[in-house]
Structure formats: structure tokens, C-alpha cells
Amino acid sequence: LEWYFKETGPLENSTRIGILPNGSLLIHKVRLTDEGWYSCVGIRGESTAVPQKYTAKLTVAYLGEVGEDSLEPPGDGQRVVAEGSELQVTCVPPHSVPRATVRWLAPTGPLTTDTLTIPAAGQQDAGNYTCIISNMADTRHVSFDLIVATPPTIIKGPTKVAVGEGEPAWLHCQFSGMPPPLTSVSWLRDKTPVRIDLHTHIAHNGTLHLHATDVSDRGEYVCVVNTTSIPPVYSKPATLFVKEKLKFSPRPVDKKLELGSAKKVYCKAQGADPPV
């Protein structure tokens, strides 16, 4: 009895391939390169009869790799959906032999479907979702955490503030909602986003701090609370008034005059209160 692989052979015993006493072919640690047609040929000593030949095809089962791109739409391990909104995530199996099966493991239990659908997300739907892809070769997993976001609420918005030029100013915005980084606060001045720099800072509680106010900081300020997957929430506007300092314009400078000559020395000042 002889064995042939892809019409080459006969195969001989090795560390990976062996022919058992009963004629069976045994392959250890099967590889993809072992895939193909195998022929078993029966030979009767010096007989001139045509040898009996039987063939069989070996197909190697395998399952490709899975990752975040196995989910449609792709994610990063965490997904945020607004409360009451629909969520659909499809688990796409990789190339495999035989065809892999797909199922989901949700906080509420197993789901035998390739597309996870939540018609109207509620807090009971939050948690970990795992897509399980398997066939006879292997089982692979890809999962994500679902966060169901609720709209923020502004408890107390900013109020009118008046400060002197050069003084600090604070505009407060008390709110409730999802924890950071899901929820953050930004500010508008006269409908334009406030730029955060060394002069301006937003505290973790949403308070806008202007370290040394300038006349250009005057205007109407609005607190904006932003939560992922939720439309922003705006406070009512509050006015910041900056009282301009008294200052000379132009600034006086030293002058040298000849004895007995006539010269004008200007003194002009401006400020919130008319100079005297």
C-alpha cells in the first residue's frame, strides 16, 4: 500500500507524516500546504493487474484574524449612543473554511444573529457586547462597551458680572450629566467660541476664568455643555462688563525746551469715568 500527494510519492514515514499498520495515513500538525488530493494505491506483489487507486481531498479548516474592523461601523472598543436612539452593529466574519458562524453575547444573554440591533437604547442596554466568531478551526472574539448617554442639564447658568480692567473675572456654569470625557464645557462670547489660552481657562466644573480682563473681553457669554452623541445644551446669555481704566493717550513723554521758548505739552486721558 502506497500513498501519494498531488501525484508525487510514494510518501515515506517522517516526523510529521506516518503510515499506520492498517494503511491509514496520519499527518501531525496539519499545515495549509498539506491541502490537496491524496491517493491510496494498493499493490499486490508481482501481480500484473492494474493497481487499485482511491483518492481523497484534504481541506484544511482555518479562521482568519478578527479585530475592530470586523465590526460595521468600526469602533475603538467603546461606543456611545444617545438614550432612545437606535444602535446597529454588524459583525463581519473573516475569510474561513468552513464558513464561520456568528453570534453575540449581550448583557441580556446570547443572540444568534450577525447584526446587533437595539431599537431604542436605554440604561438597561449599557454594558459589554461580544461578537463570537467560530468554526471547527478556532473561536475568536471582538467586543465593545456600550454607553447610553443622557442629555446634560444646566442647573445654574452664568449671571451678569462687572469688573475693572485688569481684574480677574469668573463666569459660572453649574450642570449635571455624563462624566468627562463624555461631557465637556465650552463658552461663546457674542456667538463666537472663546479661545482657551494663558489669558482664559475653563475649570473642570465648567467655570470660565479670565485672569486679567481687557476691554475687548466685554460681551455676552453663553455656557455650552457638550455630551457625545447628544445635541449641545446652551445657557441663557450673561453680560460681562469691563470698566476701562483711566489712562493717558498718548502717554506723556519727556521734552527738552530752550530757555525762553514756547511749547505745548498735551495731556489727554480716557477711561470709563470722564477724566478731570
Grid coordinates in use for 144? 465593545
**Three-class SS state of 216:** helix
State residue 266's pLDDT score.
Answer: 64
Classify domain 68-149 at the CATH topology level: Immunoglobulin-like (2.60.40)
Exposure b/e, 198-212, CB count within 10 A at least 16 = b: eebebeeebbbebee
Among 252, 242, 185, CA closest to 217: 242
What residue spans in the chain does CATH classification 2.60.40.10 cover? 68-149, 153-243
Residues in the chain: 276
Decide if 130 contacts 109 (C-beta within 8 A).
Answer: no
pLDDT of res. 235? 97
Judged by DSSP in three states, 99 sits in coil
**Which is it for the CA torsion 73, 74, 77, 79, positive or negative?**
negative
Alpha helix (H) residue ranges in 1-152: none
The per-residue pLDDT for 7 is 83
Q: What is the pLDDT of residue 52?
A: 87
Peptide bond into 181 cis (omega under 30): yes
Region of 201 on the Ramachandran plot (φ > 0 left; ψ -120 to 50 alpha; else beta) = beta
Q: How far is CA 181 from CA 71, 204, 228, in A?
A: 24, 11, 9
CATH architecture of 153-243: Sandwich (2.60)
Q: Please give the chain's pLDDT, 276 residues, in tens.
A: 899 999 888 999 998 999 999 999 999 999 889 999 999 998 776 766 778 889 999 999 999 999 999 999 998 899 999 999 999 999 999 999 999 999 999 998 999 999 999 999 999 999 999 999 999 999 999 999 999 999 999 999 999 999 999 999 999 999 999 999 999 999 999 999 999 999 999 999 999 999 999 999 999 999 999 999 999 999 999 999 999 887 766 676 777 777 767 766 666 656 555 544
Instruction: Give the pLDDT of residue 248.
Output: 64
CA distance 233 to 225: 5
Query: How many alpha carbons fall within 13 Å on the CB side of residue 32?
Result: 6
Say how many Å lie between the first and final Cα of the chain, rounded: 121
- Does this model's pTM top 0.75? no
